[in-house]
């Protein structure tokens, strides 16, 4: 059977799925597994891996039809790192065995993923990372520290980049692995944030063992593989699908409408500008997703993520200022370790504090500006005096 190419063909497949597995009477996990088997998880993936080998643009048709039928989703916010970062990287670089083992439980949410990239001395300059992996027979023994790891406290698996050759320049001596978070050599510790909670973690790896069968890509190709992850991460953060006046602008607009006594001409003008910027960013996100339907993510995702961070901080700042003394009240500074970040269900003070991380996570705004300057605008690269030095000779 050839891959479907039209919305009508995909709707027929969705109708078959719903007829055979009525969402009203089918267990949630069973329905998700049936959707995977029908190739309607991500239609652009190959047959047998949750897809149909169909154009990516048809995924929106599937999602709309299933949402209208009341079918359960896979809680994409909870498993966002797996869906947005691990899955496209495994698809691009994984072996057949790795794809068969990891993609289905990743998509159904049976296994949560986290990202072990950043380190205390290698955040914006990821290629400077120092976590070491040495070969020991059929295994790699990994030692080092990772930081700012979202969902590490709930994750079953992690995507990990480690240094396997310190004698070559930093970009050439890294290798990419799939790390079992239940290994006895993996320790997760909470990082309490300015919000009071510990959404992030630091992860210590002490002689953690990873089978060579869980290496993704060739030895020394970690930087190349990681670029696929990072490009998809920035797209996932910066171009989420939201309705008009959805997301942060919707919350701030509701706050405005709830307090007519605080309205001023200056505040109205500021909010109007932010509303227009939000709508422009939303429409740009739609365009980016349409482009992605026909190819892999490029530097445009960096621009979207940069704009998202700036706008999120501007909106949360406006909301706190608009509420005046009420905006300074902070409802709950209890130490918890949440599975999800709840921007919209919390108070203005939480949104203001949490938004500060938007310009750091997924690539700092400074690094993203460099990417845009060099890869989009064609400006000269910044001088990189350490580019050809062996990693072991870099100053620390």
The residues annotated as belonging to the active site are 233
Exposure string for 298-335, b = 16+ CB within 10 A, e = fewer: bbbbbbbbbbbbbbbbbbbbbbbebbeeebeeeeeeee
Residue with tokens 């690269």: 381
Look at the chain and count its residues. 396
Give which of 129, 103, 134 is closest to 117, Cα–Cα: 129
Task: Answer yes or no: are the C-beta atoms of 361 and 191 closer than 8 Å.
Answer: no
Pairwise CA distance, residues 17 & 349, whole Å = 44
Alpha-carbon distances, residue 36 vs 14, 17, 50, 183 (angstroms)? 12, 10, 5, 29
> Residue holding tokens 């870099």?
394
Joined tokens for residue 162: 């480690």
57, two tokens: 């643009």
Q: How far is CA 212 from CA 92, 94, 140, in A?
A: 18, 12, 6
Q: Check residue 132 and report its DSSP letter.
A: E
φ/ψ (deg, to 5) at 345:
-95, 5
- Answer whether 99's CB lies under 8 Å from 134's CB: no
Give the SS3 label for residue 146. Answer: strand
Three-state SS for 327? Answer: helix
Decide: residue 268, CB within 10 A, 0-12 exposed, 13-18 middle, 19+ buried: exposed
Nearest CA-CA partner of 325 in 262, 256, 258:
262
What one-character-per-residue DSSP string does 199-244 give? -EEEEEEEEEEEEGGGEESSTTBHHHHHHHHHHHHHHHHH-----T
Q: Are 61 and 69 in contact (CB under 8 A)?
A: no
């Amino acid at each position: 059977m050839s891959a479907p190419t039209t919305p009508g063909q995909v709707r027929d497949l969705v109708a078959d799925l719903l007829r055979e597995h009525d969402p009203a009477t089918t267990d949630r996990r069973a329905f998700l597994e049936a959707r995977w088997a029908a190739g309607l998880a991500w239609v652009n993936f190959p047959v047998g891996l949750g897809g149909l080998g169909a154009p990516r643009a048809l995924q929106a048709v599937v999602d709309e039809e299933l949402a209208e039928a009341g079918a359960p989703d896979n809680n994409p916010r909870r498993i966002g790192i797996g869906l947005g970062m691990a899955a496209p990287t495994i698809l691009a670089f994984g072996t057949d065995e790795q794809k068969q083992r990891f993609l289905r439980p990743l998509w159904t949410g049976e296994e949560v993923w986290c990202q072990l990239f950043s380190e205390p001395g290698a955040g914006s300059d990821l290629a400077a990372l120092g976590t070491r992996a040495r070969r020991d027979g059929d295994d790699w023994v990994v030692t080092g520290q990772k930081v700012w790891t979202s969902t590490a406290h709930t994750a079953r698996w992690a995507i990990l980049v480690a240094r396997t050759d310190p004698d070559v320049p930093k970009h050439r001596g890294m290798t990419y692995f799939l790390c079992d978070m239940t290994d006895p050599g993996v320790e997760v510790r909470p990082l309490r944030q300015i919000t009071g909670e510990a959404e992030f973690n630091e992860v210590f790896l002490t002689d953690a063992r990873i089978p060579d069968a869980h290496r993704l890509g060739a030895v020394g190709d970690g930087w190349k593989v990681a670029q696929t992850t990072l490009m998809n991460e920035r797209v996932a953060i910066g171009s989420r699908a939201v309705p008009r006046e959805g997301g942060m602008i919707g919350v701030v607009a509701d706050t405005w409408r709830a307090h007519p006594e605080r309205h001023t001409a200056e505040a109205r003008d500021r909010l109007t500008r932010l509303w227009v910027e939000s709508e422009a960013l939303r429409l740009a996100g739609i365009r980016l997703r349409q482009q992605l339907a026909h190819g892999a993510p490029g530097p445009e995702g960096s621009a979207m993520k940069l704009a998202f961070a700036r706008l999120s901080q501007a909106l949360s700042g406006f909301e706190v200022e608009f509420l005046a003394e009420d905006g300074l009240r902070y409802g709950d500074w209890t130490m918890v370790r949440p599975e999800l970040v709840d921007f919209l269900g919390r108070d203005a003070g939480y949104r203001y504090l949490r938004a500060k991380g938007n310009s750091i996570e997924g690539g700092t705004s400074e690094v993203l500006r460099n990417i845009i300057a060099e890869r989009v605008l064609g400006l000269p690269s910044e001088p990189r005096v350490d580019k050809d030095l062996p990693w072991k000779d870099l100053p620390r």
